[in-house]
Amino acid sequence: MSNFEGQPGNKQELEISAQEKITELTQQIKDLELEKNEKLAELDIIPTKMKK
């Protein structure tokens, strides 16, 4: 959970802050999607590498 508080003094500042938070969340979502695919790809090669 982010620490977005939305406390700036006026509407314009609030909207800039919200826009920044949205951009940050969008980046986090993209990163998680990439990370998910990388981890799934790692698991694909497990059967030949797993030790007994």
Partner 1 sequence: MHQIELPNENKLRELKFEKAESKGHFDLISTDKNGNDIIVSESDLIADMEWGHYYDLNHDVVSQAHRNKYNGFRKKYLATAYDKKIEELKNERILIQRLKLDHVDMKNSVIGEIYKDLLENMKSGNERSEQAGFLLETMITSLLIKISYDFSEKYDIEVEHATVEDDVEYKIDLIVKFKNKNRALEVDGESATKGIQLTLVKPGSEKYDIKKDQIYKANSRRNKKDKIDDLVLISVDLENREISKAYDEWKKRGEPAGGPEKFFKTDLIVNKILKGIFQETELDLSDPENKNIKNELWEYFEGK
Which residue in the set 7, 10, 12, 22 belongs to the binding site for partner 1 (CB under 8 A)? 22
Distance CA 50, CA 44 (A): 11
Question: Is residue 35 at the binding interface for partner 1, with CB under 8 A as the rule?
Answer: yes
Distance CA 16, CA 41 (A): 38
Angle among Cα 30, 22, 24 to the nearest 5 degrees reads 50
Question: Is residue 13 at the binding interface for partner 1, with CB under 8 A as the rule?
Answer: no
Binding residues for partner 1, rule: CB under 8 A, are 1-2, 4, 6, 14-15, 17-19, 21-22, 25-26, 28-29, 32-33, 35-36, 39-40, 42-44, 46-47, 49-52
